[in-house]
Amino acid sequence: MILKIRQAGEPVLRQKARPLSAEEIRDRSTQELIESMRETMQDAPGVGLAAPQVGIPVQLVVVEDQAQFLQKLSAEELAERERSAVAFHVLINPTIIVSGSEAVEFYEGCLSVAGFTGTVPRAREVRVKCLNERAEPVVIDAKGWYARILQHEIDHLDGTLYIDRMNPRSFSTIDNHARHVKTRPSNA
């Protein structure tokens, strides 16, 4: 079932999400929510979706960076972003640890801030400890674009949007970004 994605200004996007117990994770209603979030993310389309974005303030995230999304980018863009396909997976009750001191800044968008983009500095490498959809512990070491996705989605669980972290002078509509920024060489 495709769920309604909440937009900036909705209170649920600004509150801290609550953790889920192992029993809640295994419950049919949570499993159905995971599947609905997957369908909603893919329909949008997006690379991640947090439960607060569909109006449910729990610490649950789905992530998938499909290979078809990468086909739109040049080899140089993929290398610059350190971006590769990421299989669908679920993160519940995640904690994030920055693995290095290097930060990188790229444009981000958000399904809950539809139609806009801005540059956001993020850690290049992170480690995430969480539970999966079976309430099993998982550790994820990520770098590059995957690390960015994880940081962005986990921010949602704390009531933080990318606009809180972005360089405010970079804020743009998607259309203007495509017309004025994307067409400039990377070193401009």
187 pLDDT above the threshold of 60:
no
Nearest to 25 by CA among 58, 68, 66: 58
Q: What are the pLDDT digits (tens) for 138-178?
A: 999 999 999 999 999 999 999 999 999 999 999 999 999 99
pTM of the model: 0.94
Let me know: does 48 contact 147? Beta carbons within 8 Å. no
> All domains of the chain, ordered by start, with CATH?
11-181 (3.90.45.10)
Per-residue pLDDT of 47-56, as tens digits, reads 999 999 999 9
Q: Which residues are the active-site residues?
A: 153
37 within 8 A of 49, measured Cβ to Cβ: yes
- SS3 letters for 27-53? CHHHHHHHHHHHHHHHHCCCCEEEHHH
Give pLDDT, residue 100.
82
